[in-house]
Amino acid sequence: MPKRPRPSAVVGVVPKSADDAPGTSAPGTSEGAFKHNEKCLILSTRGVTSRFRHLMTDVADLLPHSKRDSKLDTKSDRNVLNEVADMKSCNSVMFFEVRKKQDLYIWIAKSPAGPSVKFHVQNIHTMAELKLSGNHLKGSRPVLSFHTAFDEQPHLQLLKEMLAQVFTTPRRHHKSKPFFDHVISFAIADGRIWMRNYQVVTPVKGEKGEDTLVEVGPRMCMNPIKIFEGSFGGSTLYENPAYVSPNAVRSALKKTVAGKYKAKVVSKVAHKAHVAANPMPRSDIDEVFRAEGNVGDSDEYEEEGMSE
């Protein structure tokens, strides 16, 4: 009669959650194997400032399934990014484009077919600047929280899907840890997407209370500019009508300052013309005192001449 194998000799994976159950694996794959091939390429242009570079590093730390690459030299031919993503075996690209060393744009694209979206990033606060009390495990899987407004318009639904695919850490990734200890929040306000990262703090065993959220960082505000059908190009699917470029904002500020100086000059010229056109009337008393002063001055002059 054959002996039954011991429990320790049975090959398999102990399910840790409902998603890890043996019946949820795809057909033709082994239990416990890495099945999600989502990889994100993160890189920037040359001329990036230290603040933008720290933001890129903080975002890369939130994505254990990301890959870094050297800085890109070109600023016009972005199709090179698809070739780099193909060499790195990545199907998503997050490209940090810096203009004039003061304007940051983030491209999020699905390589090589698309779509892609271009954001203008403002209100940047890195983890080194904030120094908040929150802290979570590096490489842990996040819980993504999206505002209900993402389901109201078609372009926001597309943005939600793209952000979810980029920021979701694949299950059983070899660089990830099987914990959910932080929440990445995406909220919509003033037509912009506000990103926050929070740590989930659970009460200590034996103490009563609910889970709380403590912000970790980084923070940023992404203003969508355009959504393209292809990867870094193609036909325009959506264009933000309320977007104003930072160059136009700076030009308006310079014109405002120049307008103030111009108004001062014009007011001075107008004041001089008004004084010349409307002279003050002379009074007889002023002429009397002026005549006496002239006589006294002439007497003093004559006395000084005689003494010499």
pLDDT (tens, 9 = 90+) of the chain, 308 residues, equals: 444 444 333 333 333 433 443 333 444 444 555 555 789 999 999 889 999 999 999 999 999 999 999 888 766 678 889 999 999 999 999 999 999 889 999 999 998 888 999 999 999 999 888 888 888 888 899 999 999 999 999 999 999 999 999 999 888 888 888 888 999 999 999 999 999 999 999 888 777 888 899 999 899 999 999 999 999 989 999 999 999 999 999 988 888 887 777 888 888 888 888 888 888 777 767 666 665 555 555 555 455 555 55
- Its pTM stands at 0.73
| Rounded Cα distance, 287 and 177, in Å | 98
Q: Give Cα separations from 208 to 25, 204, 211 (angstroms).
A: 37, 8, 10
> What 3-state class would DSSP assign to 120?
strand
Which residues touch 66 (CB under 8 Å, ≥6 apart)? Answer: 39, 40, 41, 42, 60, 94
Cα 283 to chain centroid distance, Å, stands at: 70
* Nearest-10 Cα torsion for 159, 160, 165, 169: 140
